[in-house]
Structure 1
Amino acid sequence: MDKIDRSILRELQQNGRITNQELAEKVNLSPSPCLRRVKQLEASGMIKGYTVEVDNEAYGLPIIVFVRVELERHSAEVVHKFENAIKLVDNVLECYVMTGRSDYLLKVVVKDLHDYEHFVRHELHEIANIASIDTSFAYGVVKRSHVLPMISTRSK
């Protein structure tokens, strides 16, 4: 992957609906080679798909919750069951395996505190082998981006 591919990716991350003509102009290519590069990036798996970013507040899920989960045990079976169960919970937008005290960090969206209580009681508590749940509510967003930074190509 070269600088042009990275530029293509950056432009597509900023606007996934950009036309090939506009994209080609922004990355200084003619349309055919630009489209060929986009197709290669898709085929290689570098581009995983295209999506729409939805305003969660306007959608009706204004509360963002970060939930740290610690498991009782770390056997392959316990981890597998937890991870498979959490993948099925729609309110969980992201789940990360963590270092440190907590085993997982979940990004959860809910409509209000009652909705969060329901999530904990009827979704999380139903998953076996959870030792602890620690919750933090986000009350503001300073920065949110889905655009990866450009990687420096300088020699060391």
Structure 2
Amino acid sequence: MDAVDEKIIAELTRNARISHAQLGHRVRLSRNAVRQRVERLERQGVIGGYTIVRPSSTRDREFVAAHMLVYRQDRMRGGDVLAAIRRIPEVVACDVLSGEFDLLVSLEARSLERVQGIWQDIAQMPGVRDTVTALILSRVVNRRSA
């Protein structure tokens, strides 16, 4: 990555919907040169995706957020659990942990009942030994949407 790539990343971070022509103007490259660089950055995994970020006041009213700690029976052979968690649309992140628990599953659902349903589904998965779930009451820092 060079300085131009860094500028492209910065501009896309500010506005991921910016056109290649506008982006090229801002970083002083042609539209085609910018498109090629963006595609290369995507292939290399520097750009991992694009997303929609809702204002937190709207999001807070519409979603119940929770973190679930999951302990698998066999942490080295728990791929089926990971595959099943990937298929749950409300899961916004799943991190493999060191220590007592194996996974930290972060989810956002439309209702407390849906959070409970997801908890039941995960707790009953073959290969899951135990879970601990915590509801998010409020978010003090949210740097992901910045």
Give the shorter-chain TM-score range: 0.7 to 0.9
Q: Could you tell me which runs of 5 or more consecutive residues in structure 1 were left unpaired when the two chains were aligned.
A: 148-156
Map of 2:93 onto structure 1: 94
Q: 1:53 to 1:100 in 2, by over 3 A?
A: same
Question: In 1, are the aligned partners of 2:66 and 2:135 still within 8 Å (CA)?
Answer: yes
Question: In 2, are the aligned partners of 1:60 and 1:111 still within 8 Å (CA)?
Answer: no
Q: Using the TM superposition, give the Cα deviation of residue 30 of structure 1 relative to its aligned residue in structure 2, in angstroms.
A: 4.2
Which stretches of structure 1, 4 residues or longer, exceed 6 Å deviation after superposition? Answer: none
CA distance in 1, matches of 2:74, 2:83: 16
- More helix by proportion, 1 or 2? 2
Map of 1:144 onto structure 2: 143
Which letter does structure 2 place at the counterpart of 1:27?
A: V
**What TM-score, normalized to structure 1?**
0.75
Is 1:108 aligned to 2:107, yes or no? yes
Cα displacement string for residues 38-85 of structure 1 (whole angstroms, at most 9, x for unaligned residues): 233234443344343356855975111011111122342xx1121111
Deviates more, 1:30-39 or 1:56-65: 56-65
Aligned length: 144
Deviates more, 1:132-141 or 1:34-43: 34-43
Question: In 2, are the aligned partners of 1:66 and 1:137 still within 8 Å (CA)?
Answer: yes
Q: 1:146 to 1:28 in 2, by over 3 A?
A: farther
Q: 1:43 to 1:80 in 2, by over 3 A?
A: closer
Q: Could you tell me which runs of 5 or more consecutive residues in structure 2 were left unpaired when the two chains were aligned.
A: none
**What TM-score, normalized to structure 2?**
0.79
Question: In 1, are the aligned partners of 2:123 and 2:129 still within 8 Å (CA)?
Answer: no
Cα displacement string for residues 99-152 of structure 1 (whole angstroms, at most 9, x for unaligned residues): 12210000111223222222222x1133113222112222223223257xxxxx
Question: In 1, are the aligned partners of 2:123 and 2:130 still within 8 Å (CA)?
Answer: no
CA distance in 1, matches of 2:80, 2:53: 30
